A and B are shown apart, each in its own frame.
Chain A
């Protein structure tokens, strides 16, 4: 088991809206001392149903086991996992820079355009730039803006959507169960 290769996995989890359910989910990871690299939670198109994207680095054998242990939780509707090859991922990054550097039009505008980023809002003192992309892309923009002085920076952590239709149909089945009551 230990000789098995580790790689990046993304778990897609769906739960009901219950205080404490996040603890039950994270406890499955902390129990085996597995670090969560990124965690993203938000309500889905179905009211009261929450979707979690969890990124971890581990062996498939372990990921399989914990996925089932998560799904076993009473308030978890569905738990699946996939490797990076089978999902499309994206994350949002926000950069706050002093508006004064925006006056140096040529350079900053070029950087923003080259990265397909955009100005979200501009105040007298600061400007907020938004970029969506992979972590290494948002990092590249960070590196290029850094010399101008970044006041604040935040990354959402990736959210992902599967390339197969499997996940969605399973999820609908879970929802169907719900419609019985």
Chain B
């Protein structure tokens, strides 16, 4: 039912024969065997009563699959997200029932809204105890329903291979997302005849719709006739591995292109078409000119309200073309004129083929002019501040300089996140890992760990606030134990900066509960055996960053930045993209 046998036998008869031979395994062994079949190299988790049989199997298979012991199950989800987003593979988490399972929820919700493929396995009480308020029984299936792409409760051992095959297929196909599989203790302990067939089809599920031919024609006709077209792209480009197609489209069409926060690094910012980031704290030109463009081409993005501002005044002069894989995103927030359904990896080439060569010089000059204005009013001050205080942007900019734009940047949430997204530059795709849709503080530290474990040859730098670093600070223990080489920069403004900024701008500077008394981060790092340094003066910054980058183990660099700096430009809540303010 879950496999196309004919198809498989065409590819590899031997494999097919192997798949047919069965093996007697415990449910717990079968779980791990399924992960191995899915080429899972590592998982992130935390043990407990209801999942102990599976941990015993993890021990047994430790030469084939790695388990990373985190310090809190939320850390496991974010680490798995960091791993998935850095590699494009499915992130795997494992936790016990009850509190172990509920601790996963924030990370699962984050993965759901940011379309990150995760498979989360939770232990559950024995099936005879279900519904009895047994020790550590929580109905995690019901709790996780609104934040998972799919979930399933396994109560019999022989369901395991079929359900896990389905879980991996659903997590990674179409628009990716998190899947949770809850497995009762008896199912882990009972035995089954194990054989594994990968799932590649589910009859009620259409992962990738195909575009109608007229939609492609209509889209191309709008694009070719546009005088002021604008491309806005999102993470759909990265998820579809469509970075080369995006570049080809821009090279041919000459259309200026802006990224959402989730699309960052899909296009090298040095590309001549790139005009910056969209959204509340994005760049001035693409936001303002959204309301001047005549055709808006949205590629793998979902018109989040942080991108659109007030929707009634968004893209007011434009016909809208939406290249999108998820039908429920079309016309959800913004009414579109042409929807080209499907994976952008497949739809972009159809459009490129028929797109006319163009350069749009006059239109592009408008972007340059507005960039110059933003540069003069904001960027110049951000990067070369007159004040003695260090600014967040200058740290981020220096990081890009010193790493030659090659690092993977992982952020937390707040002002430092906006600085990191505005000023980081990327040579490679999958280089910006940030919590976009949910804005989850506490994301950075575990996500950086997961990213580095997934991409051990790349430099991974976490940029985090003094608030957010304390939200999953227990993961310093994971860094200590796994010896994962991540660099963490704490941009310390002694405030919950982004909230303070809103209090300054919209609540009459009433700083309610945003001032932070922080621990001594050097002592804290020391307690975990992690090298660290604290920088208070600009003169120390460059050498400190160099030292951090060159250090051959993990490193924590605390940078004291100005206490009351603001992120600009900004679209105030309830305002239009064209009302973006520079100060």
A74 with B204: CB separation less than 8 A? yes
Q: How far is the CA of A20 from the CA of B141 in the complex (A)?
A: 8
A106 within 8 A of B: no
With A20-B142, A23-B142, A74-B149 as known contacts, state yes or no: A15 contacts B204, CB within 8 Å: yes
**Inter-subunit contact B328/A65 (CB<8 Å):** yes
What sequence of 0s and 1s flags, for each residue 496-508 of chain B, a beta carbon within 8 Å of any chain A beta carbon?
0000000000000
Given the complex, which residues of B lie within 8 Å of A181, measured CB to CB? 1-2, 4, 201, 203
Asked whether B204 lies within 8 Å of A75 as measured between CB atoms, the reply is yes
* B204 & A174 in contact (Cβ 8 Å cutoff): yes
Judged by a CB distance under 8 angstroms, whether B202 is at the interface is: yes
Which A residues touch B332, using CB under 8 A?
65, 68
Q: Contact at B327–A68, with CB atoms within 8 Å?
A: yes
Do B328 and A69 touch (CB < 8 A)?
A: yes
| Binary contact track A68-85/B, C-beta < 8 Å → 1, others 0 | 110110111100000000
Q: Is the CB of A16 within 8 A of B146?
A: no
Name the residue on B nearest A19 (C-beta).
B153
The number of inter-chain residue pairs (CB within 8 angstroms) is 54
Give the residues in chain B near A123, CB-CB below 8 Å. Answer: none
* Residues of chain B contacted by A16 (CB below 8 angstroms): 203-204
Q: Are B202 and A74 in contact (CB under 8 A)?
A: yes
- On whether A77 and B328 interact (CB within 8 A), knowing A20-B141, A23-B145, the answer reads no
Interface residues of A in 107-140 (CB under 8 A from B): none
Within 8 A of B (CB), among A142-179: 174, 177-178
Q: Binary interface profile of B, 173-208, with partner A (CB < 8 Å = 1, else 0)?
A: 000000000000000000000000000011111100
Closest to A77 in B: B204
Number of residues on chain A facing chain B (CB within 8 A)? 23
Residue of A64, A69, A74, A77 near B170 (CB, 8 A) is A74
B13 at the interface (CB under 8 A from A): no
Distance, CA A16 to CA B152, complexed state (A)? 14
Query: Nearest chain A CB to B438's CB is how many angstroms away?
Result: 16
- Note all chain B residues with C-beta closer than 8 A to A105: none
Report chain B residues within 8 Å CB of A74: 149-150, 170, 202, 204-205
The yes or no answer to B38 lying at the interface (CB within 8 A) is: no
| Proximity string of chain B (141-172) to chain A, C-beta cutoff 8 Å, 1 when within and 0 when not | 11001100111010000000000000000100
Is the C-beta of A103 less than 8 angstroms from some C-beta in chain B? no
Contacts of B1 in A (CB 8 A): 181
B146 neighbours in A (Cβ, 8 Å): 27, 31
* Minimal beta-carbon separation of A138 from chain B (angstroms): 34
| A6 located at the interface, meaning its Cβ lies under 8 Å from any Cβ of chain B in the complex | no
If A65-B332, A68-B327, A72-B326 touch, whether A20 touches B201 (CB-CB below 8 Å) is no
A65–B151 alpha-carbon span in the complex (Å)? 23
B23 an interface residue at 8 Å Cβ cutoff? no
Q: A65 contacts which chain B residues (CB < 8 A)?
A: 328, 331-332
Cα separation A117 to B330 with both chains bound (whole Å): 47
Contacting residue for A20 out of B145, B170, B205, B328, CB 8 A: B145
For A24, list chain B residues within 8 Å (CB).
145
Given contacts A24-B145, A27-B145, contact A180 B153 (CB under 8 A): no
Residue in A closest to B200 when the chains form the complex, CB atoms: A181
Complex Cα–Cα for A38 and B458 (A): 56
B215-234 interface code vs A (CB 8 A; 1 in, 0 out):
00000000000000000000
Taking CB atoms and an 8 Å cut-off, the chain A residues in 1-54 that contact chain B are 15-16, 19-20, 23-24, 27, 31
Q: Is B202 touching A72 in the complex (CB atoms < 8 A)?
A: no
Cα A147 to Cα B151 in complex, Å, equals: 51
CA distance A150 to B569 in the complex (A): 70
B residues in contact with A72, CB < 8 Å: 326-328
Instruction: Tell me whether B201 and A68 are in contact (CB under 8 A).
Output: no
Could you tell me the distance in whole angstroms from the C-beta of A32 to the nearest C-beta in chain B? 12
What is the bound-complex CA distance between A181 and B4, given in angstroms? 6
For the complex, give the distance between the alpha carbons of A65 and B330 in Å. Answer: 9
Given contacts A20-B145, A74-B170, A181-B4, contact A64 B204 (CB under 8 A): no
B404: shortest Cβ distance to chain A, in Å?
A: 42
Q: Mark B327-365, 1 if CB is under 8 A from A, else 0.
A: 110111000000000000000000000000000000000
Closest CB-CB distance, B109 to chain A, in whole Å?
13
CA gap between A69 and B330 in the complex, in Å = 11
User: Considering the chains assembled together, what is the distance between the CA atoms of A20 and B1 in angstroms?
Assistant: 21
Chain A residues in 8 Å Cβ range of B328: 65, 68-69, 71-72
Question: Which residues of B does A touch, CB under 8 Å?
Answer: 1-2, 4, 141-142, 145-146, 149-151, 153, 170, 201-206, 326-328, 330-332
What are 8 contact pairs spanning A and B, CB under 8 A? A20-B142, A20-B151, A72-B326, A75-B204, A174-B203, A180-B201, A181-B4, A181-B203
Q: Given contact pairs A23-B145, A74-B149, enumerate 5 new A-B contacts (beta carbons under 8 Å).
A: A65-B332, A68-B330, A75-B150, A177-B203, A181-B2
